[in-house]
Copies of this chain bind each other. A is one copy, B any other.
Amino acid sequence: MAYQTRLLGRQNKITNTSGLAPGYIQANLLVLPRQHARDFHDLCLRNPVSCPLLGMTHPGDPHSIQPSGCITTRDFDIRTDFPMYRVYRGGKSIGSRRDLLDVWSDDYVGFLIGCSFSFEAALTAAGLPPRHQKTNSMVAMYRTNLPLLPAGIFTGATCIVSMRPYRQDRIQAVRDVTRPYLATHGEPVAWGWEAVIALGIKDIQCPDFGDPPDLEDGEVPVFWACGVTPQMAVESAGDKIEDLVFAHEPGHMLVTDYTAEDLQKLGRS
């Protein structure tokens, strides 16, 4: 099922991947010139909640990911199998692309970062379905003032969070269900209306990415770290990266061959 979903992404036939191929781990993308790969790798190790590293390519090879369990099919291409890509130059988003075939070079390294869509099936199974799946919209994502701990050229960035509304009396259950998913952001980083202020979010109805959320009476926002955060690291690096940088379009993920059970066996879930 994961492979079929990747093929649909390759054909640009899907957009919001939330809820697709339930049980399979979804991944965010960052593609960087080789000379900056070490700094970004360090950034992931220092910020595993925002940037949980699932795997990476060998420099220049778009067809295989290490560790190999992440993508098990020989038919794979990191340049095409995401439904949509973003392009950055000098730290600024300059547009979207359906694939990276024309702009790829042997100098690029691709990083796959765990995505919180991965634990949504577990929330649903526990009777705690994320609202945005019911409303068929994209999860709301916000810029925050939560610092991303610096590594090399990546300094001064802050974290992006995704938000799912829950009643206050469900928060402990929501934390418990998502806690084991360490490789895909794990339990929430903050919750409640006081967290909106603490994180520096100005208006919960105006997310920076995704769709405005649908909060019902008595619900409070619950915030998870978000894999769009690496794009904030790219913004912070600005002109220190001379070449083009590529990422996924927020919400448009890659479905990997990892299941939650695979990550548990690896000691990372």
* Chain A residues near B (Cβ < 8 Å): 42, 45-49, 146-147, 149-152, 175, 179, 182, 186-190, 198, 225
Partner of A187, one of B151, B175, B198, B225: B151
What is the chain B residue whose CB lies nearest that of A176? B152
Q: Can you show 28 pairs from A to B with CB atoms below 8 A apart?
A: A42-B179, A42-B182, A42-B186, A45-B48, A45-B182, A46-B48, A46-B49, A46-B182, A46-B186, A47-B49, A48-B48, A49-B149, A146-B147, A147-B189, A147-B190, A147-B198, A149-B189, A149-B225, A150-B187, A150-B188, A150-B189, A150-B190, A151-B179, A151-B186, A151-B187, A152-B175, A152-B179, A152-B187
Chain B hits for A188, CB < 8 A:
150
Determine how close the nearest CB of chain B comes to the CB of A55; give it in whole angstroms. Answer: 15
Chain B hits for A45, CB < 8 A:
48, 182
Q: How many copies does the complex hold?
A: 2
Chain B hits for A151, CB < 8 A:
179, 186-187
Chain B hits for A46, CB < 8 A:
48-49, 182, 186
Determine how close the nearest CB of chain B comes to the CB of A205; give it in whole angstroms. Answer: 24
Q: Tell me, in angstroms, the Cα distance from A225 to B47 when the chains sit together.
A: 13
Most buried by B among A45, A146, A149, A190: A149
